[in-house]
Amino acid sequence: MTIEEKTKQEKDEILKKDFKFGQLVYAALYGILLISLIVMAYS
């Protein structure tokens, strides 16, 4: 494997981790917004 292929693979791994972290943050924010909306609707 060449150095270029290695760095590309490392970049892909980092991007995958960032994407998973971003998805987690997005899901958490969505959940918080949904819960606050329900709480506001019933108060």
Rounded to 5 degrees, φ, ψ at 2 are -80, 170
Q: pLDDT at position 1, please?
A: 62
**CA dihedral sign, ordered 21, 22, 23, 29:** positive
pTM: 0.65
- Residue 32 to residue 26: CA distance in whole angstroms: 10
What integer is the mean pLDDT of 16-40? 96
Residue 3 — very low, low, confident or very high, per pLDDT cuts 50/70/90? confident
- Residue 25 to residue 29: CA distance in whole angstroms: 6
